[in-house]
Each structure stands twice: as C-alpha cells, then as structure tokens.
Structure 1
Amino acid sequence: MLPIFLKTLPFFALIGLGWWAGRIRFFPEIATEYLTRFVFFFALSAMLFRFAAELSLAEIFDPAFALAYLIGCTAVYALVFATALMRRTSVPEAAIEAQCGVIGNTGFLGVPLLVALLGPMAAGPMLMVLTIDLIVFSSLITLIITASKEGTLGWGILRRLAVGLLKNPMIASMAAGIAWSATGWPLPAPALDFLTLLGAAATPAALFAIGASLASRTAERMSVAVWLSFAKLVLHPAAVAFAALVLIPVERGAAGVMIAAASLPVAGNVYMLARHYGVAPQRVSASILISTAFSILTVTLVIGWIGTN
C-alpha cells in the first residue's frame, strides 16, 4: 500500500500547492478561473482527443461496462436522493446532493491520475466513465431541477440541453477523436507531437487549479457534507464494485478502472451547477473540500485493493 500512496502523493501534492497559492492570495480567484478555462478548453481536450483517436470504439464502449457503471451509480444516486427527501429538503436540493454522491472529478483528476497509475489501458474505461457522467447524470440533474422549478419540460429545454452537451469541449474532443479513429488513419507526427505537448500540460495545470479553487471553499453544513463525502468516497465505489464484479461481470482490468474512478472526490462542476441554479452551493462546496482532503487515502486504498484482486 505504501508504494501506491507514494505514487499518488505527487498528484495530491500539486493540489496542495495550488491550495496554498490560492490561500495566500498569490494565485487569486480570477487566475484560477482562467487556468481552469485553459485546462478545460485546450489541454484536457487535447489529451482526450489523443486518447480517443488512438483507440477503437470497441476499446472505449463496452455495453456490460456501461450497464454496470450505470447500475452502481443509480443505486447511490437513489439512496442519496431519498435520504435528502427524508430530511425534508426540496427536490432540487435532493438532486444536487445526489449529484455529489455519484459525480467524481473524472476529467481534471481522474483521467491524468488513473492513466498515470494504471497505465494506458485505463484510457478507454476512463473515457466511458466520463461520457456517462457528462451525458447521463449532468442531463438528469438539469431535467430534475428545471422540471421542479417550472413544473414542466418543454422542447426548448431539451434543445438547450442537447446544444449544451454538443458544446462541451470534453464531449466534442472525445467525439472528434473517435471519428478520427474510425478513419483508420494514424495521427500525423506533427499533430501527435502537438497534442502530446499540449495534453501534457493538463495534469499539472488541472491539479493546481483544483487546489487553488479549494482555497475559496467553505466548510458549512458539515454533517451533510460529511455524509455526501462518505457516499462519494465509500458507497459509490462499493456499489460500482458490486455491480461490475457480481451483478454484471466486467473484464477485470476495466472493472478496476471503473471502481477507481468511482472513488474520486466530488467534482467541481457540481458546485458550478449548484451556483448556477442557486441550490445549496455552500453544501456542495463543503463536500468538495472534505472529499478531496480524504480522497488521498480512499483512492490509495481502492487502487491497492484493485491490485490485489
């Protein structure tokens, strides 16, 4: 376990460095915003395009994998959603809390971390996890909150949702990469070098940006935030593991990547959604802070467990 911890430590040390830079105001919030934009629109998109372009569709999409992941996520989503309603929260609040329980920091943390630790074979499963998170659950929370607030769902809302998904650079870059892969052509050497160089910036920049963004987080509603962090770091990987190893057996290596991805902390984009809709942003902020702090232990334990099974 110690060797795995030592391998994950530099990644979390970069998050810590970003947190420190943000905390002392050497790296202000506006700088974090623009660094995040650089990662989101350029560096991470280049990395995802290259991964997708070098894989076949069969290496990315596995129906058993997708179904197992959806079953595990849905179980935790339903549990967290129902628990929130039992506390007499509103439906939008319950949806935001459920999102915290199943949406990990797959793009900024998971893809660079797990590909580095588990090897290139992790790229295909990670792209599948990221696709499901972005298309299924990001759409679900939008539909639930909109329907709850407006009382109905019109074609206009569905159209805006579809356009938003198409404009998401992570989805667009993966789709473009898969399209290139389908041609059977290798990437030209200059293009490959360019994508490799730009994509290499994604890991340090994304981790630093995560830390810097945490510097402005507050830890309010601690009891709820601790519960949501527990759901994300413990219940989510446990449910996904049960689905992938027992209910719908998935190839062992891909199942390990899926379980490791489920052990990631709450994603920052959940906070963006909470702030956009004005629903429990402080609760989400605290959940991100707590889950990220403890994920250095949980991710290490999960990866260690994967390696022994």
Structure 2
Amino acid sequence: MSEVTGLVLPFFGLIFIGYAMARLRPQPVEALGWMNTFVIYVALPALFFQLLAKTPIEQLTEWSYIFGAVASTYIVFGIMFAGSMLLGGSSIAESTIKGLSAAYGNIGYMGPGLALLAFGEEAAVPVALIFCFENMVHFAVTPMLMAISGGRHESPARMALDVLRKIVLHPFILATAVGVGAAALHFQPPLPVERLLAYLASAAAPCALFAMGVSLALRPLRRVPRELGVIAVLKLVVHPLLCYVILSWVGNFSESWVFSAVLLASLPTATNVFVISQQYGVWMERASASVLITTILSVGTVTALLYAITHGILPPDLFP
C-alpha cells in the first residue's frame, strides 16, 4: 500500500496545495491565466513532443487501441445522454453537458503526470494517442449537438470550419503531430533545445495539478445536480471498467498501454466540461459541482485502481 500512497500522495497533494493556497491567499480568477497559458501552450506540449519524438513510429498507429479507448468513452457518453433525454426529460444541450460530465475525463491536466508516474515513459504514447483522438471527437460532437439543440445558430460550413480549427490548432495536438513527424524522420533536437524541452516537460505535471487545485477552489459548490450519483458512478467506475473490457477484447496490447488507458478512463470529470458549459450557457453550476465532487471522490477510486494494478489483482488482459 505504501507504494500506491507514494504514487497518489504527491499527485493529489499538488491539487490540494493549489486548492489550499487559493483559499488562504485569494486572488482574482484572472490571476490564473498565465499559469494556464504556460501549462497548455508550453509545458504539456513540450512533454508530449519530447516523449513522442523518441518513440518508434510503428507504435503510433495502433488503430484498434485508439478505437477501443474512444469507444468506451462514447458508450458512457451515450448512456448518460440517452438517460438524460429519455428518463430525465432534459434538452439536448443539457444532456450533452451531462454526457460530457460522465465521460470526459481530466486526461489533459491529470493524465500525463499520473500515468508517467505510475507506469514510466512507456505510458507517454498511449496517453498522447488517447488525448488527441478523444479531444478530436469531443471537439466535433459537442458543437454538432449544440447546433442541433439550437444553442448555436451557425451554418454547417461555419461549424465544420470551427471544429477543424479547434482540432488543428490545439497545442497538444500540434505538439503530438510534430513529435510524430520527428519520430518518423528520426530527428534529434540540438542539445540546448533538448535541455530546454526537458526543463519545460518536468514543469508540466506540477504546474498543471497546482493550477487545477486553484481552479477548483475558485468555483465554490453552489448547486449539486441530482444526477451526480449516476455521473460519478459512470465516470469513476463504469468508464474504466468498460475501457478495460473493450481493450482486452479488441487486441493484445502491452500491460502499460492497457493500464494507461484504464487509468485515464478512471480520472474525474475534466475542468473543460465547465468551460464548455460556460461557453454555451448551459448547466454551469452543476457542471462545476460535477468537476469538484468527482475529483474528491477520485482520490479513493484512483487509489483503489492503482492498488489493484500494482498488486496483480487486475490482470493486464481479460482474454489472453
């Protein structure tokens, strides 16, 4: 158990420190802007590039792996979306945010740091693949559903262009594409550039987790959705279990790849869900509550998952 504690304590400890500092030394929400800019546009892209550029190119085209991970996410999304529409009588827009709350994990801020800490550099490629392809689908599905609901009055061509722009220009996806290109060409950056990338990459996880803690503290809990229990179970239990079963079924992947995907699936609701809810003016306070509460609950669920993985309770393949 001490081994698992050694993994999760520094990780969740950084989130708690950020949360505590935001409470003890309050600053306006705008003060977090440059930290987020550094994490999203500089540190995490440097981490993705540095690790992918050193990866054999054949490892970057595991389409069955990508399909399995993304399919598990969108099966969970579909369950929550359909349940909200059919049983809850919610609108398409509200059901979209609820579906994202149950399926869109914090794979950007929390994923790379925890996966690399738990499984080493072998986790870099699966984390980058899952992040890129899941976000491509998120960037496409969300505006499409919001347009259908009437929340956005845009022509199909303008909407398609907006989706394409978000995909192509996202800094993580750009960094991944450049990293894949460097791997294909066997490009090695000059030593000073390599050292700069290493410094930036080492700052990615601590800064991202601290910023996440601050962000949670700046969104006080006001309105807890009645669907929170369902959202928490789908996000923290059903999603990783489904991902584990599907990946075991569709292929024979290495242990680190399977467990990296399952770990990413087990992460709490992404802060981006709240950002999306703000963008469309739908379900904002309850989206914020979903992020905060699933993050708190994930301390227990992620710890339990890592314990099961590190102690051999969870085999790397259900169907060897």
Match of 1:80 in 2: 80
Q: Aligned partners of 2:12 and 2:176: how far apart in 1?
A: 26
Matches within 5 A, 1:197-276: 197-219=199-221, 220-276=223-279
Moved more, 84-93 or 180-189: 180-189
Match of 2:39 in 1: 39
Q: Aligned partners of 1:14 and 1:251: how far apart in 2?
A: 30
Q: Which digits, 9 at most, give the CA deviation of each residue in 1:129-180, with x for residues without a partner? A: 1012210123211211122215885111101110121121111111111112
Contact 1:122 1:257 in 2 (8 A): yes
The TM-score, its normalising length taken from structure 1, stands at 0.95
Q: Which digits, 9 at most, give the CA deviation of each residue in 1:7-48, with x for residues without a partner? A: 211111110010011123444422222211111111111111
Contact 1:275 1:281 in 2 (8 A): yes
Contact 2:51 2:124 in 1 (8 A): yes
Matches within 5 A, 1:272-283: 272-283=275-286
Moved more, 269-278 or 240-249: 240-249
Q: Aligned partners of 1:268 and 1:137: how far apart in 2?
A: 14
Q: Aligned partners of 2:120 and 2:251: how far apart in 1?
A: 24
SS at match of 1:223: coil
Moved more, 200-209 or 185-194: 185-194
SS at match of 1:201: helix
Q: Aligned partners of 2:26 and 2:155: how far apart in 1?
A: 45
Matches within 5 A, 1:136-155: 136-149=137-150, 154-155=156-157
Higher-helix-fraction structure = 1
Q: Aligned partners of 2:43 and 2:153: how far apart in 1?
A: 39
In the TM superposition, residue 247 of structure 1 has moved relative to its aligned partner by 5.0
Match of 1:58 in 2: 58
In the TM superposition, residue 66 of structure 1 has moved relative to its aligned partner by 1.1
Q: Aligned partners of 1:248 and 1:152: how far apart in 2?
A: 40
Unaligned runs of 5+ in 2: 316-320
Alignment length, in residue pairs? Answer: 309
Match of 1:180 in 2: 182
Q: Aligned partners of 1:10 and 1:39: how far apart in 2?
A: 18
The TM-score, its normalising length taken from structure 2, stands at 0.91
The amino acid of 2:207's aligned partner reads: A
In the TM superposition, residue 241 of structure 1 has moved relative to its aligned partner by 1.1
In the TM superposition, residue 269 of structure 1 has moved relative to its aligned partner by 1.0
Q: Aligned partners of 2:128 and 2:120: how far apart in 1?
A: 14
**Cα separation, partners in 2 of 1:119 and 1:282, compared to 1, 3 Å:** same
* RMSD, aligned α-carbons: 1.7
Contact 1:22 1:28 in 2 (8 A): no
Match of 2:318 in 1: none
2:171 aligned to which of 169, 172, 175: 169
Q: Aligned partners of 2:231 and 2:89: how far apart in 1?
A: 16
